[in-house]
Each structure stands twice: as C-alpha cells, then as structure tokens.
Structure 1
Amino acid sequence: MLERYGHGGDLATAEERFGLPADGFLDYSSNMNPLGPPAAVREILARYMDEISKYPDPVSRKLRAKLAKKHGIDQSAILVGNGAAELIDLAVRALRPSRMAIAAPCFGEYGDAAKKAGVPVYEGLLRSDADFELGEQWVTEALEASGADLYLLGSPNNPTGALVEYRHIQRLLDSGATVVLDEAFLDFLPDDEHRSLAAEASTNGRLFVLRSMTKFYAIPGIRLGYIVGHPEALEAMRRLQVPWSVNSLAQAIGAAVLEDEAFAGETWAWLQSESEFLRAELRKLGFRDYPGAVNYLLVRLPDDAPFTSTELQQEMGRRGALIRDASLFTGLDHRYIRLAIKLRAQNARLIGVLREAIASLGGSGT
C-alpha cells in the first residue's frame, strides 16, 4: 500500500515499492502548489546559517503579527504550530470533547487525533449523489444522532474539495457545540479572505479556524500552520504545545511568503486554467470529477472499468506516476482516486500514463 503512513507524497515508500528513484516520480498523490516555493524561500535558506545557532522565538511573534494583519485580528488570537497535524491534535486534547463528529470522507488526521485522545467519533457520511457536499440534511442528522459537542470539519474538505456554507456552521454553533473548521486549502480560492471565518473565530470561544501554510506555498518539508480562536480559548492549547514547536526557519519563511502577493495571483490564474484542462481530459477517459475549487480532484473511475482504484494506483506507480487511492478514506470505495492538479506539461503526461495504465488493465483507455 502506497499510503503506508496514511498520507500521499510518501516518495520513500514509493521508491521501495516500485524500485524507481524518489525524485523520478510524477507525484499526483500530494497536492502542493506546483509553482512554489516563492523566491523568498531560497533567499532565506541562503542566509539561514547565521541564525541556526540561535533559539527560535517561542511564540512566533513576527509571523503572528503578519498573520494578524492578513486576517484583520489581534495576534493574541493566533497560535502557530508545527503543521496543521499538530494543531488538530492540540485542539482535540485541549477541548476535551465527550464526543466528536466528522463528515466522511475527510482528512484522516481528524479521526486519528480523536482516537489518540480517547474521544468517541461519530462519522456522518457525505453522499455521492449530493457531490459529497455537507448540506442541511447532514447537519440535521448529525445534530440528532451524533451526541457530539465538537465538530471537526474541512472547508474545503479533503479529499472532496467541497466548501461548507456558513449557515451550516452557524447552526452547529447555535446548538451549543464547538466547531473546529479546517481551512487548510482555502487560500487557493481568490476570495479566501471573504470566505474565511478566521475573524469570527478570534472573538468566538466555540469556533476555531485551522490554516496551513505548507500547501499554498509548497513548503511541506518545514511544517507550518496556525489556528485562530479566542485568546482565552487558545490558552489550553498553548499550555499543551511542546516548547519551541515551530523552528526559526519555518517562522522566517512563513513571514516572508505572506508578503508575496504576486505569487498568490499567479497561483489563482494557474489553478483556474489547469483545473479546467485536467477535468476535460479525465472526462474523455470516462472518469467522473466532483465539484471543487482547490488544487486537487476527487475522481470516480469509469463505470465500466474492469479494475479498482488500488490496481490502478499500482499500475500507475510501476509507470512512474503516483496517485492517491481514495478507497482508504472512510465513506469511499475502490471506485475513487484523488489527483493533484499541476502544470500543463505534467498534467498532459499524467493523462498519457493514465491512458496506458487503463489499457494495460483491460480498460478502453479512450
């Protein structure tokens, strides 16, 4: 299994499994911005030797100040962490819910964090005939059946790419529950600042917003994310966090990339063009893509496909291309895969490898 450790982008496992060098794969299992990292990252790396012998700022003051300006909030409402995964874990442990609800399929770290904390989980399944969108029916069923006092939801959700409408979040809050909203991929939308609930979370003791900086800026190797919440509500998470959780290199890079507005504009222009191209090419091969405005696609295999998502992943891997077997997400089966969106030359190459793999597995490949 390529997702041996629960995630895509595991090039070391791919190298072991398929016998090809790690840097030789066309990696569509990991959804990073193919334009990045921004130029400022290289500049910071070049001069970092002068800083490596010093301790990092234990509370990430410079980065928090810039994030506060971005969202129009006070920096006391921001906690920076070692990637979104650390912050998900901190949130669950600090909030100590009696029961947690998630909308499946979703990011596996949600359920894992609850299990580590000994918290029972209600998994409300999203429906394929509703394009896996979290709607009024899901909220009604969850409120009636889950018994949850914490909802951990993705918007955009991973792997579906679907957004959660504000009215549904408000309804959950009105019930007296706490909501942690994972906006890790929201900055791929040009109007993310208007859609984000970060400002509201900064003054609401029962709403928290998670953000990741690694996806949009293509810096997953340094691990960087943050959570927004009422300062008093964040205090329990601060106390649980390991000292110096965020290293000085991550802090410096995070502060620098926030100033690169041109990079954001280039990203939005690329994504619109390449999303349309990749969707159109996949449909020609008989795949069904689901609505989503981010840098990855949830895709269903052709109805007449004589192979599973696992078999397709293996065949693609042998040919040097990695895709995500979405059957490993709760609520999906062996008819689903997840694909990143990359640059035109890479997307065209992916389609070519897909066509070859489908033919090899007995499909039409047309």
Structure 2
Amino acid sequence: MSLNHGANLYDLSKKYGFSKEEFLDFSSNINPLGASNAAKDIVIKNIDQVSIYPDPDYTNLKNSISSYCHCNKENIVLGSGATELISSFIKTINPTKALLLSPAYSEYEKELKKINCNIDKYYSKHENDFKIDIDKLINHINSNKYNLIIICNPNNPTGFTFSKAEIKTLLESTNTFFMIDETYIEFTDTKAFSSTSLVDDYNNIFVIRGTSKFFSTPGIRLGYGLISNTSVKDSISSHLDLWNINIFATLMGEVMFKDTHFIENTINVMTKERDYLFDNLRNIDDLNVYDSQGNFILCEIKSKKLTASELRDKLIPHKIIIRDCASFDGLNEYFFRVCILKPEDNRLLINSLNNIF
C-alpha cells in the first residue's frame, strides 16, 4: 500500500531485514483471522471453473448479498472493490458541491477533484471526542445546498459511528444525496448502525461495502453498492465492465456471506480484543484514546513526549507497525491509529507501548 493507505511491507522488509510475514501490521485494518474457510474451500473444489465465464447477472451472488444486507437484490450493484464504486457513483451524479465529513479516507477527495467539484469539509473535533451533533450537521447541510454528502461509517480513522436512526433522520431532514461508506460497519452491531435496510425505502442514499476488511479478502477485489434510485443505478451499471467480478470472487461471495460461524466468531473475537486494547491503552497516561466502533482505535500522544512518527520508528525494529495519522486532514503529528490483531499480537503491542512510555 502507498504512504497514505498504510505500511508498505515490501519496502520495510528490505530496509530492516525482516520478512514481510514477521511484521505485526497494526496499520492495516483487515480481519487478522483470515478469510472464511468455507469460502476458500469452494475455490479449491471448483478450481476448474477458471475456464468458464461468470454468470453475467451474478444471480447467486446477489441473492447471497441480499439476504446478508436485508435489502432487495434488484438494488445491488457489483464492483471490483469498493473504490471502483466510489469513483463510478461520483462520476454518475456529478455533484457541483459536496461535503466531506472529515478526517476521512483520501480517495473521496481525489475522486471529487477529478470532476472539479467544490469541496467543503465538516470536521469532527478532538475536543468533542470526534463525535458529531446531528442537529448541527443538518443545519449546516440545509444552509449550504450540497449535491452530495459523503460519510464513512464508522469513520476512518476516528471510529465515530452514526446510528441507523441518525442516518434515517439525515435522509428525511435534508434534500441531498448521501454516500455512506460502510467498509468497517460489520465490526459493529449492524442492526444498530448499518444503513443497508434503509436503501429500499429511500432513493437518496448509496451504501458502499467491500469484502477486503471484514472478510479479509482484498485479493479478490469484490465490492458492492446498494441503491434504489433506478436512474443512478442504471447509469453506474452501464459504465461497469461486463464480467467485472471474476469467477473466484463470485464463488467466494456466494459462500462467505452465509458463513454464520465465521461472521459470529469474527465479531466475538474482535469485540473482546477491542475491549482489551481500549482498557490497556487508556491505562497509558501519555495517551488520549478515542471511542471506536471499528476494528481500529485512534490515539493521541497528549504528553507530546514524541510524535506519532517517532513512536512508529521506535516500534518498527520490534517488528510492530502502527499508522501515523498526520496525513489525515484535521489531525496533527501526535495522532496514531492501531488496528485490532490477534490476542497475542495485541498483548505484545501493549507491552511495547508500556516500555516506550
């Protein structure tokens, strides 16, 4: 990955003489438990399908996603990763004025700049623990007549999350389009926080999800968008390549969305380990630790004994990589993010941070 998207393990392994596999990469917010065994087995058992084309309608895959997200399968658009759908949606609605809830993933701004859109930013602030007052946000939106509001929910890197009820209020209280990026939503209580079930009832919302993070499958490039606005959906679909989802991504998707054992085990392990990291990071007097519903936690070195970059450099020789958050607009050089890894890895991180501070 590039500098703005996490650690480049290839470069670090050359510089420090470690293999890529030796690093504990707390900068990469991918499920550390790996992919669904059932999904991997289906590829192994059907390896000869490499010689056939996928179903161009992706009927079984869309049925699986529909059941998983509790939405109409006719409202599903498939993409080669979530990034393709972000780009396609922005190009399709072609907003002249957009609002980004910031700090945020850098790709949103890059795509908006490609179409010369005027971009405003609505910053969540550390003095408010990065929480956003929905009434103030609604007033701001209605006062500025935006064509598009982009929300990463949970927000990366702050971890703040709007509830489903709050998103519904936003949809009903404003007159604009919302793009809700739910890349990390599956690490939360989806019944309380996910907007997928709102799509069938509101035509001014586009929900984007990918399988890279929760299902630990960045290599298959499978993303999906949910939208009931027929004209926008058809326009997005018309610009996507035929068979844009390969046969193995299709097979894995048909299975992993139904793998309840994998889903429940991931949620149980990640929730327990998130609680462990919260408790122990907050015991370090030098740090401010912010609430998160994601599989990552934002921290601030309040003592200013060292910067996040200096902390990162101290940890790398111990084969530990954290995310320096200075590149996120609205954060300074004292913010860093750690993702949740396996129990033994999380304990090593805490021990190393205690030794440093």
Q: TM-score, normalised by structure 2?
A: 0.92
Conservation of the 8 A alpha-carbon contact between 1:100 and 1:151? yes
316-325 vs 161-170, which moves further:
161-170
- 1:72-91 matched pairs, under 5 angstroms: 72-91=70-89
- 1:125-274 matched pairs, under 5 angstroms: 125-136=123-134, 138-140=136-138, 142-143=140-141, 146-165=144-163, 166-167=165-166, 170-171=169-170, 173-189=172-188, 191-230=189-228, 232=230, 233-274=232-273
Partner of 2:299: 299
Conservation of the 8 A alpha-carbon contact between 1:27 and 1:322? yes
Conservation of the 8 A alpha-carbon contact between 2:168 and 2:198? no
Conservation of the 8 A alpha-carbon contact between 2:325 and 2:333? yes
1:50 aligns with 2:55: no
Instruction: State the Cα distance separating 1:213 from its structure 2 match.
Output: 1.8
Conservation of the 8 A alpha-carbon contact between 1:326 and 1:336? yes
Partner secondary structure for residue 99 of structure 2: strand
Partner secondary structure for residue 206 of structure 2: strand
Give the length in aligned residue pairs: 354
Per-residue CA deviations over 1:192-238 (Å, capped at 9, x if unaligned) read 14532222213422111111222111111212121100151311111
Q: How many Å separate the matches in 1 of 2:116 and 2:42?
A: 41
Instruction: State the Cα distance separating 1:244 from its structure 2 match.
Output: 2.4
Structure 1 runs not aligned, ≥5 long: 359-364
Instruction: State the Cα distance separating 1:21 from its structure 2 match.
Output: 1.6
Letter matched to residue 193 of structure 2: R
Conservation of the 8 A alpha-carbon contact between 1:101 and 1:151? yes
Partner of 2:325: 326
Letter matched to residue 52 of structure 2: K
Conservation of the 8 A alpha-carbon contact between 2:162 and 2:193? no
Partner secondary structure for residue 52 of structure 1: helix
Letter matched to residue 197 of structure 1: S
Per-residue CA deviations over 1:166-194 (Å, capped at 9, x if unaligned) read 335533553311001111111112x3145
Conservation of the 8 A alpha-carbon contact between 2:153 and 2:182? yes
Partner secondary structure for residue 225 of structure 2: strand
Q: How many Å separate the matches in 1 of 2:270 and 2:101?
A: 26
Partner of 1:362: none
Structure 2 runs not aligned, ≥5 long: none
Evaluate the alpha carbon distance shift between residue 117 and residue 246 of structure 1 in structure 2; reply closer, same or farther with a 3 A threshold: farther
Q: How many Å separate the matches in 2 of 1:321 and 1:178?
A: 41
Evaluate the alpha carbon distance shift between residue 310 and residue 173 of structure 1 in structure 2; reply closer, same or farther with a 3 A threshold: farther
Q: How many Å separate the matches in 2 of 1:107 and 1:132?
A: 15
Q: How many Å separate the matches in 2 of 1:68 and 1:206?
A: 19
Partner of 2:91: 93
Conservation of the 8 A alpha-carbon contact between 2:43 and 2:251? no
Identity %: 26
Q: How many Å separate the matches in 1 of 2:12 and 2:139?
A: 40
Instruction: State the Cα distance separating 1:243 from its structure 2 match.
Output: 2.9
Partner of 2:289: 289
Conservation of the 8 A alpha-carbon contact between 1:71 and 1:193? no
Q: How many Å separate the matches in 2 of 1:86 and 1:317?
A: 32
Evaluate the alpha carbon distance shift between residue 136 and residue 319 of structure 1 in structure 2; reply closer, same or farther with a 3 A threshold: same
Q: How many Å separate the matches in 2 of 1:244 and 1:123?
A: 36
Q: How many Å separate the matches in 2 of 1:182 and 1:344?
A: 28
Letter matched to residue 58 of structure 1: P
Match of residue 123, structure 1, among 97, 121, 129: 121
Instruction: State the Cα distance separating 1:136 from its structure 2 match.
Output: 2.9
Letter matched to residue 255 of structure 1: E
1:21 aligns with 2:19: yes
RMSD: 2.0
Q: How many Å separate the matches in 2 of 1:197 and 1:334?
A: 33
Partner secondary structure for residue 272 of structure 1: helix
Instruction: State the Cα distance separating 1:16 from its structure 2 match.
Output: 4.0
Conservation of the 8 A alpha-carbon contact between 2:183 and 2:213? yes
Letter matched to residue 201 of structure 1: V
Evaluate the alpha carbon distance shift between residue 192 and residue 129 of structure 1 in structure 2; reply closer, same or farther with a 3 A threshold: same
Letter matched to residue 8 of structure 2: D
Letter matched to residue 274 of structure 1: E
Partner secondary structure for residue 124 of structure 1: strand
Evaluate the alpha carbon distance shift between residue 69 and residue 140 of structure 1 in structure 2; reply closer, same or farther with a 3 A threshold: closer
Partner of 1:34: 32
Evaluate the alpha carbon distance shift between residue 275 and residue 160 of structure 1 in structure 2; reply closer, same or farther with a 3 A threshold: same
Q: How many Å separate the matches in 2 of 1:121 and 1:115?
A: 8
Q: TM-score, normalised by structure 1?
A: 0.90
13-22 vs 46-55, which moves further:
13-22
Instruction: State the Cα distance separating 1:67 from its structure 2 match.
Output: 1.1
